[in-house]
Amino acid sequence: LAKTTQPISMDSYEGQEVNITCSHNNIATNDYITWYQQFPSQGPRFIIQGYKTKVTNEVASLFIPADRKSSTLSLPRVSLSDTAVYYCLVAPSGGSYIPTFGRGTSLIVHP
């Protein structure tokens, strides 16, 4: 399984764009990259998932370079409610596997 490395914490201000990068140097060919958001005392919430290049949905964008050894979650114009822990998960698209979440990135958005 690909091990992931993320910054422990990040600070930002309302209205700014936030980019959180996750390193996964030994990602396998059939691995997908998924990002989750978690608020205190709640379960993680799916944000976005991708395999390569760029994926965009209504809340975020995910940038994955050609070598796929890293990925960047981009949150446009963050608000106070985006203060949360963000996890990057790399896992295969099918078959048996044990999900391994890293420690996540604690994002604090300031007024």
Contacts with other proteins, residue ranges (CB under 8 A): 32, 34, 36, 41-46, 49, 87, 91, 93-94, 96-104
Nearer to other proteins, 17 or 108 (CB): 108
Query: Residue 46 Cβ, how far from other proteins at the closest point, in Å?
Result: 5
Is-contact 20 10, C-beta < 8 A?
yes
Nearer to other proteins, 75 or 89 (CB): 89
Query: Residue 16 Cβ, how far from other proteins at the closest point, in Å?
Result: 27
What one-character DSSP code corresponds to residue 25?
T
Over its C-alpha atoms, the chain yields an Rg (Å, rounded) of 13
Query: Residue 70 Cβ, how far from other proteins at the closest point, in Å?
Result: 19
Which amino acid makes up residue 26? N
Q: In what order do the strands lie in the sheet with 105-110?
A: 9-13, 105-110, 84-92, 31-38, 45-50
Q: Which two tokens stand for residue 20?
A: 């959180």
Nearer to other proteins, 33 or 75 (CB): 33
Query: Residue 85 Cβ, how far from other proteins at the closest point, in Å?
Result: 9
